[in-house]
Structure 1
Amino acid sequence: MLASKTFFYDLAERAIKTAAQALLAVFVAGVTIMSVDWVDALAITGTAALVSILTSIASAGVGSRDSASLVTQVE
């Protein structure tokens, strides 16, 4: 359910993790903090976070009712 607190916590957690992973992925071999193009790096990070958010919204109600996940929780 899109209006649940749990859903928004899941959505935020996934988006933050995805953004962090995308930003770290910019630093490939030979790229340093001083040589990275920060505009491009932040654009990549923002795009990855947006895709994560849209994926969470698209998966609402598919898995566990109050989760942003596509899989059902196993108890």
Structure 2
Amino acid sequence: MSDKTKKWIKAAAVRAVKTMAQTFIATIGSAAVLAAVDWKVVVSATVLAGILSVATSVAGLPEVEE
């Protein structure tokens, strides 16, 4: 595996984890206002956000550009 590929995987993973954390917190926050946290919705929205983040990273990551 090339160094550029390793850098891309690391950068994409960092972005995905950050995006997932933001989605997790936002989803719980909105559900808490409604007084009931639906954990299936929280988990599915968090996973989907991570998948979309990685898919978006395929278009390019400024951190990896040379």
TM-score (norm 1): 0.68
Q: Percent identity?
A: 29
Pick 1 or 2: higher relative contact order, CA cutoff 8 A, min separation 6.
2
Aligned residue in 2 for 1:41:
42
Query: How far did 1:29 drift?
Result: 5.5
Greater helix fraction, Structure 1 or Structure 2: 2
Matched residues, number: 63
Shift of the 30–53 alpha-carbon distance from structure 1 to 2, 3 Å rule, reads closer
- Structure 1 residue ranges without an equivalent (≥5): none
User: Which residue in the other structure is 2:6 paired with?
Assistant: 5
Structure 1 runs of 4+ with >2 Å offset: 27-30
Cα deviation, 1:40-74, whole Å, max 9, x if unaligned, reads 111100111111000001226xx46xx2xxxx67x
1:28 aligns with 2:29: yes
TM-score w.r.t. the length of structure 2 is 0.76
Q: Which amino acid aligns with 2:39?
A: W
1:48-67 matched pairs, under 5 angstroms: 48-59=49-60, 63=62, 67=64
Q: Does the alignment pair 1:16 with 2:22?
A: no
Q: Closer, same or farther in 2 for the Cα pair 1:51/1:31, shift >3 Å?
A: same
